[in-house]
Chains A and B, each alone.
Chain A
């Protein structure tokens, strides 16, 4: 009798969990479907051109000022797409070494009190809202870039540049990379710390017991053992980078340029617009149906990018594991 009651309870418990899991899954699916439906108008017209063609800023302007019947539903976000990849990749290049380095110090090479302080600092950094990063980027990073890299001569020169005319004002790819890098570093560090801490202590003991130096134990044994956690951290940080909207919209310049390698170092001073910050920047124009659909299409591209990203990392991870 008693065990019967227990089974019923167990069953109810299981079903409660099931319902919440299904609801959670449905919710996520629902959000995706919602975004796709809203995006369809532009995507069906633009097709692949949506990511292979340029001219997003001008297309938004045209759509906004033309009457409902005459607007274009064709949008090309090549510049946004490339800027998104560039800012995220640049931020990762900045944040991954710093983050892993800090995590290694926290886990292995610092006094407990210092380690505890460091991890508090990291978690604090991880929870500073992006608007504050944006604000500081705008007040500190952008003026710094303008003062140290952009001369009046350079400004004039690029106003007439034959490849791509642009204004250099400090809001740039570089500012985006720096702000985004600082933003995702603590996330990366926190996740790396967790990953390293999750490695069984016995590996470390075994390594040290074999007379391998502490540093080598960390780099040759602990970090490889924490690999999947590290990958997860990088994916999450990259996801955060790809999706970061507010801070980037404040510092990256807001124009859908494709940075040109031919410009040399000025490549990094190009004002850019990322997919996510486009959604924020142009949201005031969302009352126009075509623009609304275009912005949701940016959302779709974001989703597809992260999907591709996450799948390919998973494949890499699997390949690494096989080895």
Chain B
């Protein structure tokens, strides 16, 4: 018995060690970014537009990348969330168990292993079809060929939505499955039909899981580089009618190209051609702050839910 307890405590210590490692890695990454990027931070850096140049002194700020990140996240989530949730509802509560569901869940697992650059190329290939010209814009003046440009906030947002769709379906389905069947039965017993039961009982009960899945999806959009690089053009600035921020130009802004924080980091880091590592670290720091804010918001939302549950 004593030996067993000793073994237990050794193993437990190892686990604590693992947890400490996790925290250390996280803090290490954030600290590293803070040290490397803090000097860069200033209202100017955040509020001015970037300049396309190889010279660090003229690099400008990261206003448009920040806006781009938010725009893409918004479009992608807006597309993938309702689509994914309703698919998950169908697969969980309507589809018959069997081959179809198995195949789909396998396909989703597999798609998770496909690098996003493949999906990016897919998006680019599809959306350069002139049929989708309204999402970006037609390329004018090339003789004999009619093509769409295939790069814009719409295109990138939709491609992002497609990229995260499988995750949203999968994680939502998991959250829905975790709702005890007794809830649904109770709802039926009160005379509700399936639709009402799903909308009023199951979805609220699975709310936290669903929120988590959306947040995970958003995280993937915020963090993706390849799709942005190919389908958003990686142009640093907003390229629609200027000024891009005045409301009458929004449609044009969305139809045109831009950048996100990740594509900006890619461009300015040694991995791209930009050659401005300290700017890249500054932008990384801002990106991390955005992600942390995203987390705080969701923690707050889910804590609201919990409070109500406990009452």
Q: Given the complex, which residues of B lie within 8 Å of A123, measured CB to CB?
A: 215, 295
Complex CA distance for A99 and B18, rounded to whole angstroms: 7
- Secondary structure class of chain B's binding surface, majority of residues: helix
Q: How far is the CB of B160 from chain A (nearest CB, A)?
A: 13
Q: How far is the CB of B207 from chain A (nearest CB, A)?
A: 15
Whether, in the assembled complex, B219 has its beta carbon less than 8 Å from a beta carbon of chain A, the answer is yes
Which residue of the partner chain, among B22, B32, B87, contacts A118 with CB atoms under 8 Å?
A: B22
When A101-B17, A118-B23 are in contact, do A124 and B109 touch as well, CB less than 8 Å? no
- Assign chain B's interface to a size class: 35 or more
Whether, in the assembled complex, A143 has its beta carbon less than 8 Å from a beta carbon of chain B, the answer is no
Complex CA distance for A29 and B216, rounded to whole angstroms: 23
Whether, in the assembled complex, B74 has its beta carbon less than 8 Å from a beta carbon of chain A, the answer is no
A307-B110 in contact (CB<8A): yes
When A97-B18, A135-B271 are in contact, do A306 and B110 touch as well, CB less than 8 Å? yes
- Secondary structure class of chain A's binding surface, majority of residues: helix
Complex CA distance for A268 and B63, rounded to whole angstroms: 42
Complex CA distance for A213 and B8, rounded to whole angstroms: 9
A10-B19 in contact (CB<8A): no
Output the nearest chain B residue to A25 by Cβ-Cβ distance: B104
Q: Given the complex, which residues of A lie within 8 Å of B115, measured CB to CB?
A: 243-245, 276, 279-280, 299, 302
Whether, in the assembled complex, A31 has its beta carbon less than 8 Å from a beta carbon of chain B, the answer is yes
Whether, in the assembled complex, A126 has its beta carbon less than 8 Å from a beta carbon of chain B, the answer is yes
Whether, in the assembled complex, B186 has its beta carbon less than 8 Å from a beta carbon of chain A, the answer is no
Q: Given the complex, which residues of A lie within 8 Å of B222, measured CB to CB?
A: 127, 129
Complex CA distance for A6 and B195, rounded to whole angstroms: 9
B113-A239 in contact (CB<8A): yes
Contacts of B23-56 to chain A: CB distance below 8 A: 23, 25-26, 29, 32-33
Q: Given the complex, which residues of B lie within 8 Å of A236, measured CB to CB?
A: 109, 112
Complex CA distance for A234 and B309, rounded to whole angstroms: 31
Which residue of the partner chain, among A31, A131, A245, contacts B122 with CB atoms under 8 Å?
A: A31
Contacts of A147-173 to chain B: CB distance below 8 A: none
A135-B269 in contact (CB<8A): yes
A185-B22 in contact (CB<8A): yes
Interface window among A12-20, A47-55, A61-69: A12-20
A98-B86 in contact (CB<8A): no
Complex CA distance for A18 and B86, rounded to whole angstroms: 8
Q: How far is the CB of B292 from chain A (nearest CB, A)?
A: 6
> Beyond the given A129-B222, A131-B223, A245-B115, could you list 16 further A-B residue pairs with CB under 8 A, ordered by the A residue number?
A17-B89, A21-B95, A24-B87, A101-B14, A102-B21, A110-B19, A124-B292, A127-B222, A132-B33, A135-B271, A136-B32, A219-B11, A240-B113, A246-B266, A299-B115, A310-B110
Q: What would be 7 A-B contacts, judged by CB atoms less than 8 Å apart?
A: A9-B195, A101-B14, A105-B18, A130-B225, A185-B22, A243-B116, A302-B113
A interface residues, Cβ below 8 angstroms from B? 6-7, 9-10, 13-14, 16-18, 20-21, 23-25, 27-29, 31-32, 34-35, 97-102, 104-106, 109-110, 118, 120-136, 138, 140, 182, 185-186, 189, 198, 213, 215-216, 219, 235-236, 238-240, 242-246, 250, 276, 279-280, 283, 286, 296, 299, 302-303, 305-307, 309-311, 314
